[in-house]
Structure formats: C-alpha cells, structure tokens
C-alpha cells in the first residue's frame, strides 16, 4: 500500500510538473497578417480569393487578407487615400498604366530588394523580357512583381472564313481588308467588330504602334523623361485609323459595346461577328459562351505588309509592396510573392483565368503538363509568341507616360468624333495629341525636377 501511495504521489508530481511545463510554454504564435488589395471583380476576384487561401494553407507563419477594390482605377485611388491616412495595404495590384505614377510616388519598397532582404533568390531573367521591362527601372531593377499579364489576339471564326476559301487568319492589314469584303459579299452582316472607347486604346493604338515599332510619344515613349510628348499623329497609326474608318463606312466593321447592347466578345461568341481583337484574357469567356458547334481560333494581330513585326505589349497589372510596414509584414509579403512566382501557381492561375504565365519556367511547366495541347486552353500560347516576337526595342518595352488613363479617355473622345464624321482622321488625332500633351504637361508640373528611375 505504501509503495502504491508513493507511485501515486510520483505520478501526481510528474503530472504537475508536466502541467507546469505546459503552462510555461508560450502559446502557438498567431500568423502575421498583412493586406493585399486588388482590382479584379467577378469570377477573377473569386480566383484571387482561392489563390490567397492556397497561400494561407501552404504555411502557418503568415495570413494574407485579400480584398477586391472593384476595379483598377478604384484600387489605385483607394490606395493613395489609404496611404495618406497611414492605413495602406502591404501589397497592392496596380494596372500597367499606373506604373509611372507608382514609380514617382516613392511610396513602395522595390520588389527585388524585398526578396533579397528576406532570403529569396529570384532569377529575374526568367521573366519574359517584354513583361519584365515594363515593370523595371531603366537599369533593369524590378520594382514590382508581374502578376496578371495579357496581350491582345485576333479571334476569328474558322467556319466563316472557310466560306470564303480561307483556312488561316489574315496576317497583314491588307489581307484583313480583302477578307472582310469577301465575308460581306458572302452574306455576313458583321465581318468584324471593334470598340472605340477609352479602353480600346490598348488594342487599337498602343498595340498597333508597338507591333510596327512606332512611337506613341517622344523620349522613347516617356522612358527617358517626363518632358515626353505625344506624336502618334505623325506615325502609321494615322493610316491605320484611316483604314478602319474606311471599312466602317463600307459596312465591313461594326462598333460593338455594352452601351449598344452587345460587347465585342459577346458578338463574336454568339456568331454575330466573325472577327474581333481582344485580350487573351477573354479566351476562356469565348470558350464558355460560344455558339454551339462554332469553330474558332486565335492568331497574332496583323501588321501592314513589309513590316518587321515586333513584340506586343504586356497588359494587366503588377504587385507593388508599399512602404511604411513592419519587418514581419514584409517577410509575409516576400513569402506571398515567392508563392505566386512558383510555376505550379502559374498553372493554377492560367487554368482558372485567361491570363498567361509571366515566366519562361512557368510557361515550360504548363507545356510539360499538356496545358496547351487541346481545348479549352489550346491557342493561348499564341499570346506568348506575340509577346516574344522580338527582343523589346526602346519603343516596344512599354509606355511610361503619366496620367495615361486620361490620355486614353481623350483617345475615346476623338475616336468617337472621327467615326461620327465630326472631324477628319488627321484632325481627330491632332486634337488627341494636343489635349494629351496638356495632360502630360500637368503631370510634369506635379513632379518638378523629378526623373523616372
């Protein structure tokens, strides 16, 4: 009995000791939370939410809180307001045309330095040059991480083209004119659909100019100084708009937009119109909503005969890490960016959106997985071919102009005037340059004595 009592006392002492040790141990550390604001909505926002959940589930040290701001413009404006109030997110998605504004703000921590400080070795040469150089300094330093990237393609109805004896998409604008007329003569009411709003500046003006190595503005499209001014009224862009207007007047092109009841993508997917130019990001939408049995494909945008094709421009957005945050939050941000950089994440991202991988390793990984071998993803590799058609020139590395969204709005205004026969093509583009230069002048005055990095 005595020995049993001793045993019980010993067990009790051991239990008490164990309890004491347990109580002395600190509770499991809560993950470090940090905010990520983004500008996508709808299905794309749901994909971003899943991406964030995947990151949080992949480790226990950090928790990213992801919040959609509705659209790109709102995201940038809300971030500026939050920064002034000292409540900025740690990571923010900023669209391509906000790059110059972010660079001059100084309100960020350079992405390459962030990753290096936190022990991540990123091979920046792995990024496709046309993508990387858009978000890098003139010296090649990466200030932000490319995220959702796209470029425009020509979508064409193979069944309609078969009716005019064609098995390939037109490669030149001269061929486009002939094919549109043949489609019209074959009874198609809408051979090609375009939109001429501000947003279509991306396809109609910016991409056309890049493919033809034609400048949008002086100073190498603004890369070499805030005193850059527009000059697309002196380039092949004038001929291009002249041809588009001619084809519109002949009934070969119809204007399609949500305001008119049906946008370009809907018009193409329904079989109403036979050719459109839109982002590779719309590839999935066309596939999901197409008219039953419709055969279609994508091709690189045409160029004028005799042109040495250059790379198209990257669209979409990149991820910026903002200043004024703690070291712990920066560690979390670096881990998050490294997670996004992983080729497996590229497969998830491209599978669930129409966006393309931003790195060569990501693209190679998708190919080894058979991603591009069959529908619904076959064809999206054409976007990579377009972005890598050449080494970026001083013109085709991108556009570095301040307040460029306002210039795009002016583009929409003048295109509307041209197509409504209120002004001639040359007069409209001259006015675009004049009013756009006033916008650039105001931006330059906002940042006196400053230069782009």
What angle is formed at CA 353 by the lines to CA 351 and CA 354, rounded to 5 degrees? 100
The dihedral formed by the CA atoms of 123, 127, 128 and 130, expressed in degrees to the nearest 10: -110
Three-state SS at 192:
strand
- Asked, as a colleague might, if the bond just before 376 is cis with ω within 30 of 0, I would say yes
Q: Model pTM?
A: 0.87
Going residue by residue through the chain, which has 453 residues, state the pLDDT in tens, using 9 for 90 and above.
Answer: 444 344 344 434 444 444 444 445 555 589 999 999 999 988 889 999 999 999 999 999 999 999 999 999 899 999 999 999 999 999 999 998 889 889 998 899 999 999 999 999 999 999 998 888 888 888 888 999 999 999 999 999 999 999 999 999 999 999 999 999 999 999 999 999 999 998 899 999 999 999 999 999 999 999 999 999 999 999 999 999 999 999 999 999 999 998 888 999 999 999 999 999 999 989 988 998 999 999 999 999 999 999 999 999 999 899 999 999 999 999 999 999 999 999 999 999 998 888 989 999 999 999 999 999 988 999 999 999 999 999 999 999 999 999 998 999 999 999 999 999 999 999 999 999 999 999 999 999 999 888 888
H-helix or E-strand spanning residue 209: helix 208-211
For residue 453, the model assigns a pLDDT of: 82
For residue 69, the model assigns a pLDDT of: 96
Given a contact cutoff of 8 angstroms between Cβ atoms, the answer to whether 150 and 280 are in contact is yes
Given a contact cutoff of 8 angstroms between Cβ atoms, the answer to whether 154 and 337 are in contact is no
Dist. CA 160–CA 273, nearest whole Å = 10
For residue 101, the model assigns a pLDDT of: 87
Domains 32-150+314-378 and 152-311+402-446 share a fold: yes
CATH code of the region 152-311+402-446: 3.40.190.10
Given a contact cutoff of 8 angstroms between Cβ atoms, the answer to whether 97 and 133 are in contact is no
29: nearest Cα among 332, 341, 453? 332
CATH code of the region 32-150+314-378: 3.40.190.10
Dist. CA 351–CA 345, nearest whole Å = 10
- Termini Cα distance of the chain: 85
Backbone phi, psi, residue 148, to 5°: -95, 110
Q: Which residues, 6 or more positions from 345, have their beta carbon under 8 angstroms from its beta carbon?
A: 51, 54, 339
Which residue ranges make up each domain of the chain? 32-150+314-378, 152-311+402-446
**Within 10 Å of residue 427's Cβ, how many Cβ atoms?**
14
Given a contact cutoff of 8 angstroms between Cβ atoms, the answer to whether 26 and 302 are in contact is no
For residue 139, the model assigns a pLDDT of: 82
For residue 25, the model assigns a pLDDT of: 52
> Residue 64 pairs with which residues in a beta bridge?
34
Three-state SS at 62:
strand
For residue 137, the model assigns a pLDDT of: 85
Pairing between β-strand 152-157 and β-strand 296-299 as defined by DSSP bridges = antiparallel
């Amino acid at each position: 009995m005595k020995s049993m009592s001793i045993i019980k006392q010993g067990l009790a002492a051991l239990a008490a000791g164990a309890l004491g040790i347990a109580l002395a141990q600190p509770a499991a550390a809560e993950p470090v939370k940090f905010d990520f604001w983004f500008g996508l909505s709808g299905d794309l926002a749901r994909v971003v939410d899943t991406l964030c959940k995947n990151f949080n589930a992949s480790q226990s040290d950090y928790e990213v809180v992801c919040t959609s701001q509705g659209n790109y413009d709102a995201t940038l404006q809300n971030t500026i307001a939050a920064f002034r109030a000292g409540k900025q997110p740690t990571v923010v998605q900023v669209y391509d045309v906000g790059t110059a504004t972010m660079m001059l703000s100084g309100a960020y921590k350079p992405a390459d330095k962030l990753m290096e400080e936190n022990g991540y070795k990123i091979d920046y040469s792995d990024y496709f040059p046309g993508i990387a150089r858009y978000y890098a300094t003139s010296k090649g330093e990466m200030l932000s991480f490319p995220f959702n990237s796209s470029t425009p393609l020509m979508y064409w109805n193979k069944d309609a083209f078969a009716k005019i004896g064609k098995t390939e998409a037109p490669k030149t604008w001269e061929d486009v004119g002939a094919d549109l007329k043949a489609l019209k003569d074959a009874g198609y009411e809408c051979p090609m659909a375009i939109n001429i709003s501000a947003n279509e500046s991306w396809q109609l003006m910016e991409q056309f100019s890049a493919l033809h190595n034609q400048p949008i503005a002086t100073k190498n499209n603004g890369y070499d100084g805030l005193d850059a001014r527009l000059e697309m009224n002196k380039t092949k862009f004038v001929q291009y708009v002249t041809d588009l207007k001619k084809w519109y007047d002949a009934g070969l092109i119809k204007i399609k937009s949500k305001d008119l009841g049906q946008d370009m993508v809907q018009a193409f997917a329904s079989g109403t119109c036979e050719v459109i130019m839109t982002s590779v990001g719309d590839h999935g939408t066309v596939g999901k909503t197409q008219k039953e049995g419709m055969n279609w494909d994508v091709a690189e945008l045409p160029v004028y005969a005799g042109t040495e094709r250059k790379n198209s421009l990257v669209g979409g957005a990149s991820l910026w890490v903002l200043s004024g945050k703690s070291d712990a939050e920066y560690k979390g941000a670096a881990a998050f960016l490294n997670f996004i950089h992983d080729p497996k994440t590229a497969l998830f991202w491209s599978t669930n959106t129409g966006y393309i991988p931003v790195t060569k390793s990501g693209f190679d990984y998708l190919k080894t997985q058979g991603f591009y071998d069959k529908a619904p993803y076959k064809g999206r590799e054409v976007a990579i071919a377009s972005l890598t058609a050449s080494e970026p020139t001083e013109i085709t590395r991108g556009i570095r102009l301040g307040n460029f969204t306002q210039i795009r709005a002016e583009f929409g205004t003048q295109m509307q005037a041209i197509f409504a026969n209120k002004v001639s093509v040359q007069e409209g583009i001259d006015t675009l340059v004049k009013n756009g230069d006033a916008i650039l002048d105001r931006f330059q005055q906002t940042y006196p004595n400053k230069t782009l990095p």
